[in-house]
């Protein structure tokens, strides 16, 4: 499949799944007769967007050259896209332009800059992890390494998606909210596929996960997208037991697709005390020793 065909397929599948999740009743449209699709028909999206059915059909088929931002706005509103979904639509449309097809972004670097690593190591009381767009762990401080110890068991670079779907039994024990996290991880990878569809390492990862995990395939086919967010991650950690840790996630400007995640429980909380316990154990940890189950 050529790059142009791949870009058109990505846009078509994305728009198809977006209209498929909205029922006529959701959109305030009358329902009559039998319907072949549970969601909106193409002509119904066109009507809601105030454009001709022929125009929308051409858009869904990838004929998006020269489409105006105003038309994209009306289609996004008709499909009830949120902010992340609208940005993804913009990226998919932009990928169809000749200029975008001439651009080839290399894979993200395998390591952070020395300055970023110095900053990570200075956060001695807070776990800190840097992920790239493929969710490889590209850098970590000592406490982050102890927190994510379950991810560092294989010969390959630790990857959050690979651990989640290809080591599922262990991942479900480690992540009590596995279902939610699985949906988030796939949605983040979908965003990355829109940002850098030609990344060979990403293509390889998606192929591996799709081949070996039915859970991944099902979620990938949904075409949901979501950016990294700050929030709370719940762990069932071997040493700490079940603990919920607030996080702050921020982009690393020096590397386009790197995200720094820092776990930030407030001092005096049980979560903060749990990290102090982890830090105390980690200080005396023999080199290479796994975290024991408490």
Summarised one tens digit per residue, pLDDT across range 158-207 is 999 999 999 999 999 999 999 999 999 999 999 999 888 888 999 999 99
Same domain, 163 and 143: yes
Question: 215 and 276 in one domain?
Answer: yes
Q: Give the CATH number, domain containing residue 172.
A: 3.30.450.180
Is residue 282 within a helix (H) or strand (E), and if so which, with residue range? helix 270-283
Q: Look at the chain and report how many structural domains it folds into.
A: 2
Residue 73 belongs to domain with CATH number: 1.10.260.40
Helix axes 200-212, 178-195, angle to 10 degrees: 140
What is the rounded distance in angstroms from the CA atom of residue 33 to the CA atom of residue 280?
A: 67
93 plus 26 within the same structural domain: yes
Pair 200, 158 in one domain: yes
**Residue 58: other Cβ atoms inside 10 A:** 14
Q: Do residues 168 and 150 make contact, with C-beta atoms less than 8 angstroms apart? A: no
8 A C-beta contact, residue 151 and residue 175: no
Residues 70, 122, single domain; the answer is: no
Residue 268 located in a structural domain? yes
- Regarding whether 266 and 122 lie in a shared domain, the answer is yes
Task: Clarify whether residues 48 and 153 are in a common domain.
Answer: no
Distance between CA atoms of residues 5 and 144, nearest Å: 41
Confidence band of 139 (pLDDT split at 50, 70, 90): very high
Residue 247 three-state SS? strand
Read off the pLDDT of residues 210-257 as tens digits, 9 standing for 90 and up.
Answer: 999 999 999 999 999 998 888 999 999 999 999 999 999 999 876 678
User: Domain check: are 18 and 126 in the same one?
Assistant: no
Task: Give the residue from 49, 67, 102 where a domain finishes.
Answer: 102
Weakest-pLDDT range from 22-26, 63-67, 137-141, 267-271: 63-67
The model's pTM is 0.88
Give the end of a domain, one of 78, 102, 126: 102
DSSP string, 152-189: --SSSPPBHHHHHHHSHHHHHHH-TTHHHHHHHHHHHH
Range of the domain at 233: 114-283
Give the Cα separation of 7 and 134 in Å (integer): 19
Q: Name the token pair of 11.
A: 């846009």
Burial 179-195 (b: 16+ CB within 10 A, else e): eebbebbbbbbbbbbbb
């Amino acid at each position: 499949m050529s790059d142009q065909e791949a870009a058109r397929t990505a846009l078509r599948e994305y728009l198809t799944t977006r209209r498929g999740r909205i029922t006529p009743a959701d959109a305030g449209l009358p329902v009559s007769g039998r319907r072949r699709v549970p969601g909106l028909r193409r002509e119904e999206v066109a009507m809601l967007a105030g454009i001709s059915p022929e125009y929308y059909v051409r858009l869904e088929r990838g004929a998006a050259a020269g489409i105006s931002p105003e038309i994209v706005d009306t289609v996004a509103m008709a499909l009830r896209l949120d902010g992340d979904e609208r940005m993804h639509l913009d990226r998919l449309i932009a990928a169809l332009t000749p200029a975008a097809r001439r651009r080839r972004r290399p894979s993200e670097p395998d390591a952070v800059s020395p300055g970023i690593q110095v900053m990570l190591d200075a956060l001695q009381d807070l776990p800190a992890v840097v992920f790239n767009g493929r969710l490889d762990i590209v850098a970590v401080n000592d406490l982050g390494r102890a927190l994510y110890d379950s991810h560092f068991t294989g010969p390959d670079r630790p990857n959050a998606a690979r651990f989640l779907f290809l080591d599922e039994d262990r991942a479900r024990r480690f992540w009590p909210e596995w279902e939610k996290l699985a949906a988030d991880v796939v949605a983040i990878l979908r965003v990355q596929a829109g940002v850098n569809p030609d990344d060979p390492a990403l293509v390889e990862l998606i192929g591996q996960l799709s081949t070996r995990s039915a859970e991944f395939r099902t979620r990938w086919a949904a075409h949901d997208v979501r950016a990294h967010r700050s929030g709370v991650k719940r762990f069932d950690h071997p040493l700490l037991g079940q603990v919920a840790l607030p996080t702050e996630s921020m982009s690393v400007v020096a590397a386009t697709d790197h995200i720094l995640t820092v776990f930030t429980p407030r001092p005096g909380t049980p979560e903060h005390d749990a990290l102090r316990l982890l830090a105390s154990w980690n200080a005396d940890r023999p080199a290479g020793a796994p975290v024991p189950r408490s």
